[in-house]
Amino acid sequence: ITCIDGKWQSPPHCEDVRCDPPRQIAGGSIDGIRKSKYMPGESANYQCWKNFKMTGPSTVVCKNGTWTELPTCKGQAGRCGTPPAIQSGELLHFPLLEYQEGDTVEYKCPDFYILEGSPTITCRSGQWTDPPVCRGRLKCVLGGQRLCDCSSCLLLRP
């Protein structure tokens, strides 16, 4: 960077390039202990459950805060594994380890969250259809100025 007239031009900014834990996949799991953060270059290995076949590489690598492409585990004879978990949401019923072609499950979001997408997903050809997303709808306001539009806000009390 360069100092011109007593001011830094284009000062650098820091970005967190670590990765959150890789997400769970339907019909499989991550080998070993999951860490809270992964450094760039670190990897995680997936394995499919019995009677499930993996598509894609079993190892994923943390690169600049994101994971390389995750594998999929497809059930044989059109079966699906446990439905995927969604952030801030949950299934209406306790999940099974395996589902048949055409089976459905339903998600819900907690209070102050909005469910985007269909609440129901279906087992089709050994894969779940896309799950919904729970988005926060809490708006924090102080003195008429909106502080955030977020899923969890710091609530200020007098």
* In contact, 70 and 57? CB cutoff 8 Å: no
Pick the CATH number of 79-136 from 3.20.20.70, 2.10.70.10, 3.40.50.11810, 1.10.3720.10: 2.10.70.10
Instruction: Provide the CATH topology of domain 16-76.
Output: Complement Module; domain 1 (2.10.70)
H or E segment to which residue 148 belongs: strand 145-150
Per-residue pLDDT of the chain (158 residues; tens, 9 = 90+): 788 888 888 777 788 899 999 988 878 889 888 888 999 999 999 998 887 889 999 999 999 999 999 998 887 778 888 898 898 999 999 999 889 999 999 999 999 899 999 999 999 988 899 999 998 875 544 455 444 444 444 444 44
Strand, helix or coil at 76? helix
* In contact, 81 and 49? CB cutoff 8 Å: yes
What distance in Å separates the CA atoms of residue 80 and residue 125, rounded to the nearest whole number? 8
What is the sign, positive or negative, of the torsion defined by CA atoms of 65, 47, 128, 69?
positive
